Structure 1
Amino acid sequence: MMNYYPSASHSTSFTSNTSNLLPPQHADGNSHVPINLQSVSHPDPQSTTFTSRQHKLTTQPVYFILADSHGRALPSLSTNDYQVNIKFLSGLHWANEECIRLCAKTLLDSDIISSDLSVCTSTILLIGTNSIRNDYAPIIINQIASIVDLIHSQHPHLRAKSNITILSSFPCVNKSSLFPSTQELATNINCYNNLLQELALRKNFSILDVPITSNHLKNDGMHIHSSHFFILSDTIDHYIHHLYDQIPKTSRIHNRSRDAITRRNTNRHIKQVARQQQQTVTRSIAHAWKLHDFKQYLQHKQIRYNRLPEIRQHQVRIQFNDIHQYNHAEATLSEDEFNEMNYYKWLNYEH
């Protein structure tokens, strides 16, 4: 399993397009299935269907993401170095015999998605929430195994471990008829994630964990609240940048001007500042605390921050680039952590 939590940041922008896609008739006799996929890739603004115009940056690496409704959380992730094509479909399952238009295997076998896979460097599959609510984990794992085999057989260039990445399942407390209690559903999700790790070893693909908790969900207990979209988008954004960094530099093509590089660096800085503002732990602090002692205390608590703005009105703000360090600090530091009594306790402990 790959647990990847980098700290680098780079800029993103957002565009959106909706198209009606008609996968071709398959050899098994299935008729044309109308599919309404959402895209946040970069098609021609005048186009109403996805065509090869999405892939006009063919000299650059292309990363393709197929997602269920969680794909709404993703802005465009393309940069000057690589292209990211994102398509998502609400209600998408790994397999769905009752509604073939919501079946990922059918989609991946269709011309419209197969063309995306044929030109991509790697693919990321953000699917599973709908499946784990409506089927048992071992059954879903067999479905995924079949899908991975399909991709490997039809797209031999995607056989390396880093070429296919599947996200582990987020928490979900939206009960179903098959799992009428949250405990039963949680057990199925845990089983699914464990079996997915085993499958990844057998089938040679990667797993990406995203630090989404039940606290990040909307009231429906299933979808990510918009205020926490950045957790998903940042994790995938950094992961793709990590994949790109693994490409030998000699095989990359750089056509960026000095101005373009400056704009990129400026945008990265803006995004980092915005992330730090979102991921800020604020606590009251007594006047007795000295900066040196405060920093040593954070180090003792294994809290790795990125910035400490000036203390104002007895409030200290600890800013983080990394969501995991932010969550750790929020959980570790009580509201009265930096009162005067705790300061003198810390001095006694230190000496």
Structure 2
Amino acid sequence: MQSPNNSDDSSHPTETPFTFTTTRSRRISSTQPSSTRKPKSNPHKYFLERTEKNCPKHLTDSQRNKWFKVAKKANANAQLVRQLPPFRWPTSHSIQPIFIHHLTPHSIIDSVLHKIRDATVYVIDTESDPPTPFRSESLPALIQIQAIHHENSTSVLIIETQFLPYPSSPTLFRRFALFDIDQIKHPVNLQAYFTTHWNQTHPHLSSCPTQHHQSQINLDSDSDSDYDLICTVDTSKIDDDLQFNRVTNKSTCTCPDDIRPYKDPTNQWALQKAIKVTFNEALNKLHTMNTWACALDPILTTDYTSDSTATRTDMIVYAVNDVCAPARLLFQLDHLIIRHLRSSSLSTTVPSTSLPSSNSPEPQSPEPSTPEPQPSLSPLHIQQSPEILSDQEHVPELPMYFVLTDSHARHIKEPIITPHYQALVHAISGLRWRDSTHPHLSALSIIKSSSISTYLQSSAALMFLIGTNSLRYDDAAKVLQDVAHTIEYIHTTYPHLHEKQQIAVVATFPCYNTSGIFKSIHSLLSNIQVYNEALHTLSNQLNFTFIDFHITDIYLSSDRMHLHPDYRYLIPNSITHYFNSIFQHHTSSRTHTRSQSAIQRRNQRRHAKLKLKQQQFSIKRPIDLNWKPIHVKQVLKQHHIKYARILEVRNHIVPIQFNNAKDRDAADTSLPDDIFNSEHFHQYFNAEQ
């Protein structure tokens, strides 16, 4: 889809699945090392300072006009941002993009492909660095891909093209060959579609000299098939999105600007202006001409200054908004390609009603109800009706499990109640394994408190979701000592929690929120990795369970530490999954909870049945006085005979019993009648001596 005019990118919603592959390799080289290309915090700063006084004297009239035109556009953008609220979509939450580059783990690639496999509508956008005196062509920097699941759920991928595992630096986006243009089934020309829609809803005034509307563009014409997803971008001039109303000699339109912003029918709508007139929001174009090949993903850079981090964050927001803006326009205009993805079209469950009897009054038409917003993914519903809760609270045999967690599970406000057990979740923000300065944030101190010890005494299992706060400030080795001390205290104080699965410790999630101790993301992630690996080993030594919720960095929110709201359901789901396995284990092993006398009576019955069975399968052999039971067993072993029991010798006869007829017949064939005479005894055992 061609969006309203974007000079530095190309946005194309398409209805087709896509695939791409990545391989581990070295980072591609470029004309300038990526580590030295730093973005500007305010690229428009020098444009805003342009005046008649500081205009270069050597410029020609044409160059002078362009010089002031750029300044005028930058000022218009600044004024728009000051006056209007910022553009945002979806409005319910911020989008956390997924970065693709040569350091992206294969697990994340697999997760991305799994998540967007059912998406059919995509928006493709690009960002480039402008030519320089050392490079005549624009440098491809980003490919933004938006996969639209439905109106309130979307995934955004940011492919950092200068950090892909390619052998050489490409100069055009089309060389990446990420897409086959033949797979694009329904490209949408948003520029033409929006222009036609605007002209239809904003006709010329009767007083306007223009006697007819602008020629409408046939959206189904064959020309649409020529639009390519990837294009070469001319960024020699600052963003043409900041266009101004141009009145040419060909235009006779005199309508106000709020009806016809563009008087000349050949002018194209700017994406920024389309967002302004449609939503009364500002699509900030401050970073249009910034340095995009600067490694937006924090993993790719070592520049962690506050100014650099803030600038990259703003650029990420810009890249996400730029690719999401066309999709929001399509939803607003109710385009056919996305109509099936609107929230109002999502299926909702309607309770069935019985047919009225012939004597009953005619039912009234129900009031139309507004469908509740659907979650982007299917979270676990852990709350139940008050009636069910009240009934379950009076079931004394319902086992209770206890979860002590930091802020990662603070969104779980109610107990997790199932027909088989209930789980209490106690969340404390800032909780660490041990904190001598702040006892109220120390897991060991909290466990020793009277209020929590009451829960632990009656809990059938205990889970710890702690680690992030400890590992941000302490070395993994020290944190592991705190874990070991806590587990040993629980084993000593609460002996009923003696089984391995009754105490569980969750692996620490990825965290990119550095601290004064671990100032780089690499050192922090390394500390977490060392801890998780050693924690798994420690679990076998101290008899507790190590659990991995399989949380990756694609699930994190903008604070780079907690889970994004769309993925918070993963925590209660994982907790419930583990406790379900514990309950099933206890259910399958309930026979071990019988009394000792009951177990003894059961075993006696089993032994009596087995004894009667073995009496049916037996053979007898004469035996010399030299033979002892140990000698008989050795001979049977040498002949590979499977026997059950060797009975007491009576009248120089030894009975041998078996568990089945097959073993009995095999022994009867292998053992001659004189196998246990005096001659064979000396033959077997004198030879061994």
Which range, TM-score by smaller chain?
Answer: 0.5 to 0.7
Establish whether residue 147 from structure 1 lines up as the match of residue 486 from structure 2.
yes
Quote the residue 2:538 is aligned against.
199
Residue type of the alignment partner of 2:488: D
Measure, in 2, the Cα distance between the counterparts of 1:136 and 1:160.
Answer: 29
User: Residue 465 of structure 2: which of 101, 126, 145 is its match?
Assistant: 126
- TM superposition shift of 1:251: 4.6
Quote the residue 1:71 is aligned against.
409
Measure, in 2, the Cα distance between the counterparts of 1:232 and 1:138.
Answer: 26
8 Å CA contact retained: 2:505, 2:547: yes
- TM superposition shift of 1:231: 1.6
- TM superposition shift of 1:161: 0.2
Question: Counterpart of 1:134 in 2: which secondary structure?
Answer: coil
Establish whether residue 156 from structure 1 lines up as the match of residue 495 from structure 2.
yes
Question: Counterpart of 2:576 in 1: which secondary structure?
Answer: helix
Q: Alpha-carbon deviations, 1:255-290, whole Å to 9, x = none?
A: xxxxxxxxxxxxxxxxxxxxxxxxxxxxxxxxxxxx
Amino-acid identity (%): 32
8 Å CA contact retained: 2:409, 2:571: no
8 Å CA contact retained: 1:162, 1:206: yes
- TM superposition shift of 1:153: 0.6
Quote the residue 2:383 is aligned against.
13
Residue type of the alignment partner of 1:131: S
Residues 77, 177 of structure 1: alpha-carbon distance in 2 compared, 3 angstrom cutoff? same
Question: Counterpart of 2:568 in 1: which secondary structure?
Answer: helix
8 Å CA contact retained: 2:431, 2:469: yes
Output aligned runs, 1:173-252, within 5 Å. Answer: 173-248=512-587, 251=590
8 Å CA contact retained: 1:73, 1:232: no
Measure, in 1, the Cα distance between the counterparts of 2:446 and 2:384.
Answer: 24
Measure, in 2, the Cα distance between the counterparts of 1:152 and 1:193.
Answer: 21
- TM superposition shift of 1:155: 0.3
Residue type of the alignment partner of 2:397: T
Residue type of the alignment partner of 1:145: A
Measure, in 1, the Cα distance between the counterparts of 2:433 and 2:421.
Answer: 28
Q: Alpha-carbon deviations, 1:156-211, whole Å to 9, x = none?
A: 00011011000000000000000000000011000100110111011000011012
- TM superposition shift of 1:100: 1.1
- Structure 2, unmatched stretches of 5+, are 1-378, 592-689
Quote the residue 1:268 is aligned against.
none
What's the TM-score, normalizing by structure 1?
Answer: 0.56
- TM superposition shift of 1:12: 2.1
Residues 248, 217 of structure 1: alpha-carbon distance in 2 compared, 3 angstrom cutoff? same
- TM superposition shift of 1:73: 4.0
Residues 79, 221 of structure 1: alpha-carbon distance in 2 compared, 3 angstrom cutoff? same
8 Å CA contact retained: 1:57, 1:83: no
- Structure 1, unmatched stretches of 5+, are 1-8, 16-41, 45-53, 253-351
Measure, in 2, the Cα distance between the counterparts of 1:133 and 1:250.
Answer: 41
Output aligned runs, 1:1-351, within 5 Å. Answer: 12-13=382-383, 57-74=395-412, 76-248=415-587, 251=590
Measure, in 2, the Cα distance between the counterparts of 1:14 and 1:174.
Answer: 36
Residues 153, 222 of structure 1: alpha-carbon distance in 2 compared, 3 angstrom cutoff? same
Q: Which structure carries more helix by proportion?
A: 1
What's the TM-score, normalizing by structure 2?
Answer: 0.29
Residues 171, 10 of structure 1: alpha-carbon distance in 2 compared, 3 angstrom cutoff? closer
Rg comparison, structure with higher value: 2
Residue type of the alignment partner of 1:66: L
Question: Counterpart of 1:210 in 2: which secondary structure?
Answer: coil
- TM superposition shift of 1:250: 8.0
- TM superposition shift of 1:61: 1.4
8 Å CA contact retained: 2:383, 2:416: yes
Measure, in 1, the Cα distance between the counterparts of 2:498 and 2:589.
Answer: 22
- TM superposition shift of 1:236: 1.4
Measure, in 2, the Cα distance between the counterparts of 1:80 and 1:65.
Answer: 18
8 Å CA contact retained: 2:415, 2:422: no
Q: Note the aligned Cα RMSD (angstroms).
A: 2.4
> Of the two structures, which has the highest relative contact order with CA contacts closer than 8 Å and spacing of 6 or more?
1
Q: Alpha-carbon deviations, 1:99-128, whole Å to 9, x = none?
A: 111000000011111111100110011111
Question: Counterpart of 1:171 in 2: which secondary structure?
Answer: coil
- TM superposition shift of 1:58: 3.4
- TM superposition shift of 1:232: 1.7
